[in-house]
Structure 1
């Protein structure tokens, strides 16, 4: 008889598990293994380096290194006897390597990195190999770049090889300086004047011992293929092409020690082909023709140089890019003159500031502040300002000129009035008639030094500087009621309220943000209206009608007027009825190549493009022509709004919003090719402003870089960096 089965309920147990990792346990295990090795506990193999014994554990070595894993997996004598002998390695390196295997910790320095790298390669410690390469890559400099480049080539380290090659390209000019220093110590100094001028560093910098050590980083140790690759690259960074010629001659001179004359002449011919003759000056070409003996032995090369010399004025092809001037965003502050290379996103400080003339006149624990800057035809003018000690302040009327081509400062005729925190604008009637107009600012009637913060008042005068005559004159504003009223209202405002110096400074900077110059016209933004005044040397005339901003737009500043914008206008003509129909127009950026052009006139840039066609039996003609329009910017920095303003048409065009809000006083607008640059961006990081860039092609903003906020150490107010654009050939 079958008994009935009674189901039994079994409570299911939980299948959930937790995977736990105890970090301290892992580190304690490493410490224990390290202790076992040092105390020779449980060891089963011994490594010998130059007679020094290192007890180890096979399992640890095999787990860390494929080299040891292969050794102990086979029936080799090292595996049977438990003894491993390592050659061509120091005991110090072996100890550091074993410490790394047991603890994953190691100290890498410039002195030991090559030894550690070679040992890591031998024992196939890939992680340590990568760390060594990364360390070397981060520490490439002029003193070791060639040595590291050759090392990377020897070991096939592609990434390190590319990195050092790029470093040599970018710093080739400085590498030549180093080589000149080396030759001045190891051999005779350069005897010819042209080569002697190339060196920008004192030849006494290096001792004989340092020269011998640094010789290994001279470019003359490069092999021919690598050297040729450098010379033919467009990225080779030299200020003048004569540096390339110098490097060729020094490289050949070094190679001549181990080559016969025929081979040296062949090297000269091969390398000379990489010299870009069109980048050399007339003086430099004549120097090469007169002094290069090997050139006279090669008639073909000689004729090539003679042809370049004969065609010197017209030949502009194949010029090395680094020898051409390029645009820099320049920042002038109290004690520094900084340059920002947009293409490399890099700041440099290569220009002397303050100039030597000013340093010799004052002791420079003092502060030079309140000056204005203006650029005219790629030349910088620094005008006026004040020199402050702890208890006195002296206003200045000095004028300094900086030539970026010659990289030198000079003094010009002084202003008629001493003033600070004033505003300057560039005006011109033609290419030969350029003026710098100075208005606003703080001034004082007394000649002696003033106690800080006392007796300053708003300037009521406007003066202008004629660049071609180096002469200052005062502008007659009495006949212009609008401009006179504008200046008097500013003067009255400061007189009534008796502002302190800090408030007066802020007021002057605020006013300077409302004035721009475009050709011979002055634009002033006042009460939401843009007033226009025409300037000549005898008078300032009002230019009507003025432009009123929309009522919903407020808090704006009139940003810097820029060069012209090209308008491409498409027009259709009906040739039978003589009817005319404007289809549409579009804009493209271009540099202003016609300084004499009136700011409000339209001028033809090129011959119109004409297309004739038939449309349903009607003969029609389409003409595309180009005209230039003046362009300036209207900026609301605190809201991040930017408008393009076309004064010839009284037309506003809004650009996309900026990424950041901008400081009202620190905002400058520049135009570099197709980019619009705005400074003074306020980010999350205290003590820094940011620079934004607008790309017209993508219609997008991006943050380019940041720069520190300058603070007046005496008055404790923010000081405004002056931003402007210069074309310079600096390496």
Structure 2
């Protein structure tokens, strides 16, 4: 038994808990003292009322109430997947559960429905560890749905740190007004310019203009317009199609224009009921500091304190150089960078590495692919992106129109023939595709982009045309 591996003199509480749980599991497996059966559809789960009541306030209240279930041996549960309930019951008896990205949300929902805090906490910890760009918004919304502040705040922090990437996700456009407000009101938003917050809000409204324009009166107070340059405010904000014909919104923007002229409204004090819950005195209220409207908030965001750095990337680590302070420091100790790679910094300050060989023995048709990594400045780690198909070397690398272009090069196969193909990675769909080929094969060339056009310069070609 598991309890035998624990020293009862050093860990008496853990020893007793483990011994008790092992004993309960043994009773269940041998159908001893079973006094309750949970029935879901055509599945039955024998168990003990004592275990259910001790693990769940829901079942405890049921068994102590005057409901019929108190006396019945068989308890029918509805709207529950029997496989999920089976996993939860197994955990209550063994502390063992196999969470996956496919089942964690269902288990989380059932744990919330039947008030099982131990399972709830395990699911929260699992989801916190599994936060990535592809699921952070879904986990954020799940935390709000289940009223779980711990999960909601962790997901919001992740979103704020990577806001410029998250807004590219189609799930961002599916957020509700209150969900969006919780994100864009945060001081922790990692944006260099407040214009990015305004533009992302307008994109969100444009996704469903008819139903969302009405939310602008509140959501505009989440944007810190005093941090936006006056010229941009006059040209892009005041003249925006969603704002200029709405008199209520124009009136709100007048507050910002007055602030630009140095005229701020008198700060409003909270009412006695709001400030003190109805118990405050007049004297206390007079001492209470007033508040300006949210639309006049001018506190800088987290991302506005960033430094400009030069990164030197190699297979032994990533070193950052601060040209202002004339200092170097280790940005990442990851050694997973391939030796033969090309690196790219996009207009949005995203850093990518492409190159090297990645072998997948499960893919019989194309076992070799190239590494494709993105640097995460928050965790100082290189994140694995969808592998580049058709591995190659001596290629050109550039970006244009929200896409990354891998141009020409030499194939990493027998013969190492030069290539004329062009692979494109779409940063919005997170997928690779292929565009029209070059007019000739080329490798060892320079590749740049300008105003949406990609240029190939120099290089060598087997056909001698470069």
Give the alignment's TM-score, normalised by structure 1: 0.33
Larger RCO (CA under 8 A, 6+ residues apart): 1
Larger relative strand fraction: 1
Give the alignment's TM-score, normalised by structure 2: 0.50
